[in-house]
Amino acid sequence: MMRSLFSGVAGLKTHQTKMDVIGNNIANVNTVGYKSASIVFSDLMSQTTQRASGASAATGRGGVNARQIGLGVRSGAINMAITQQGASQSTGNAFDMMIDGENFFVVSDGNSNFFTRDGSFYVDGAGNLAMTSIGYNVMGWGVDPATGEIQKDTVTALRIMSTANMTYPPEATSQATVSGIIDKNDTDVTSANGKVVNLGFYDALGYSYTAKIVFRKSDSENGNEYSIELDKILDSVGNEVEIPDGLEEALLGDKTTQKKATVVQLGTGYKWSDDGTKLQTTEGVDVANLADLAGLGADATYAKLTDAQKTAVDAIAKAFGYEGSAEQFSNLAQITTDPATSSDTVTSMLQLLAAHSDEFRTGTMSDSGFAIQGRKYEGTSVVFDADNGNFNGLGGVATQTTSILRLSQLGGNFSDITVDFSGLGNWNNAGTSTAAADAGIATDSGAVLGEGRPLGKMIGLAVQNNGMIYASYDNGMSRLLGQIATASFPNASGLEKQGNNLYAATLNSGEFDGIGVDVTANGGSIAPGQLEMSNVDLSSEFTEMITTQRGFQANSRIITVSDTLLEELTNLKR
């Protein structure tokens, strides 16, 4: 009777333990990443009252089985359904992550590594990716600065928002394209001002500039040759970058000389003084004194003039109604070709004015105008096929499609830019040219090379399904910051719970090697913006609760009945 009494007690204790397991499961039904536990029973021990005996041929008696009386029940094992995936919950937070598979996140308290399925992370004040609940650092792999690729060595804390990661360095523009249509009937192209094409670019410090490239038509035999020149460079606020004397014509491409016939004529309301040294209004008011321009040599340029000389040239250009700038007016030239040698003699407008040319001030000036044999183009020539209008090379060389914008000659942080002109065509477009310049060269893959960029500021972070973390910047660039490492164990059920959704490795789970594995190595993945919920099945837990309750009740009856029997036994002495 005492044996049945203690068996009942053992049954009560064991069923109470099972109820404890069930209660813990139900309590954690909404715990992120919680893995449900289950308990199995085993009999405690048995009292053998008679051992088994075998059959005897000598006596003719058969064998007898052992006689054993069980003494109760105990907890055989408590197992975790650690490999059973919990349901996913969408949170919209990029740093909430769920592992789809059997791996674990690796986190650290600064001394030891722990493992968890709780992917509720955030970025702390130091820029580290950490657990939201207890602040343990999420471990992963850094980026090799030499290659820009993940370096899978010992896991370290992922500091994804360090000072270095908050910005992306600028880069100078090194490539550009000019494409579109140059229509020979475009009045912009045939005018003195020319067709202006703006090329935006960056220097090595990320400052933006605009190079103004000018297309002008020249007097080629087939009308298929144009000159391109760098007119000026403006900074981001519209201030003109100073170009040293002598560099203006050499900055873009190879220097070639082209001609463009131009007729200039004194406008209505102006006249020359009787001695031919002053330009006056018809009322006799002096506008410009040619004496201010006396003595200018062959190397005279508008940029080298004094303020008084520039004022005189400005007034003369205005009087002649020249549609271009005063600087362009000063570059108009008489170009005389020697038939014997085919060599040109160039006399600029400034030289004509400085020499008090009688021809310049003849009466024909006010009648039919003064025919300047050509504007001297000192730029890169763009040639098109006279038959089909296709681009036919630079400087008459069909194989030459690129020219160098030699900005490095300006010093400072400027870099040379290789400009590709092969996308141009010389076709009829109703008198409108569509030529445009763009920084960078597009590749077949869709990437743009050599575009340059300003300094970029971090505007977002994204986690891929392989755990790689990328930052995006407002200059259009992105950067790999690191990769979340995971841990895999031969026997994940052998991990030991440490509280706070953490596990520690044990001898039976297998050791962590300190390196970790890529979550995709065994078919897993990381789902950002989601959390893994508890895998507790309430319907199963409540069913187990019912059977546990009945088992507890049955064992309590054993104690009650055994107590009654003992009571009857004690009553025998009466």
Average pLDDT (281-301) is 84
- When pLDDT is cut at 50, 70 and 90, the band that residue 360 belongs to is low
CA–CA dist 174, 127 (Å, integer)? 34
pLDDT for the residue 373: 54
Element (H, E) at 559: helix 538-570
Residue with tokens 């010093």: 411
Tell me which residue of 230, 176, 178, 235 sits closest to 412, measured CA to CA: 235
pLDDT digits (tens, 9 = 90+) for 92-126: 888 999 999 999 999 999 999 999 999 999 999 99
For residue 571, pLDDT beyond 70: yes
CB 178 within 8 A of CB 196: no
Q: What is the tens place of the pLDDT at every residue in 140-176?
A: 999 998 888 999 989 999 999 999 999 999 999 999 9
Bridge partner residues of 150 (DSSP): 143
Residue 367: pLDDT band with limits 50, 70, 90: very low
Segment 445-466 mean pLDDT: 92
CA 406 to chain centre: 29
List the single range of 128-142, 401-415, 452-466 with lowest mean pLDDT.
401-415
The DSSP annotation for 93-132 comes to -TTBEEEESS-EEEEESSSSEEEES--BEEE-TTSBEEET
Nearest-Å Rg of the Cα atoms of the chain is 46
| pLDDT above 90: percentage of residues in the chain | 52
Short-list 385, 411, 10, 377, CA closest to 203: 411
Please check the confidence at residue 502 and state whether its pLDDT lies above 50: yes
Specify the pLDDT at position 395: 79
pLDDT at 415: 93
Write phi, then psi, for 373 (nearest 5 degrees). -60, -20
Q: State the pLDDT confidence band at 63, using cuts at 50, 70 and 90.
A: confident
Q: Per DSSP, which regions of 277-416 are E strands?
A: 278-281, 286-289, 332-337, 344-348, 370-372, 374-375, 377-384, 391-394, 402-405
- Record the tokens describing residue 271, joined without a space: 């006249």
Enumerate the CATH 2.60.98.20 domain ranges in the chain, comma separated: 170-259+376-454
* Pair 88, 527: CB distance under 8 Å: yes
CATH 1.10.3720.10 fits 170-259+376-454, yes or no: no
For 287, other C-beta atoms within 10 Å of its C-beta total: 19
CA distance 295 to 313: 15
| pLDDT, position 365 | 43
Of 254 and 473, the structure prediction assigns the larger pLDDT to 473
- So what's the pLDDT on residue 290? 83
State the average pLDDT over residues 276-293.
Answer: 85
pLDDT of residue 171: 95
Mean pLDDT of the chain: 87
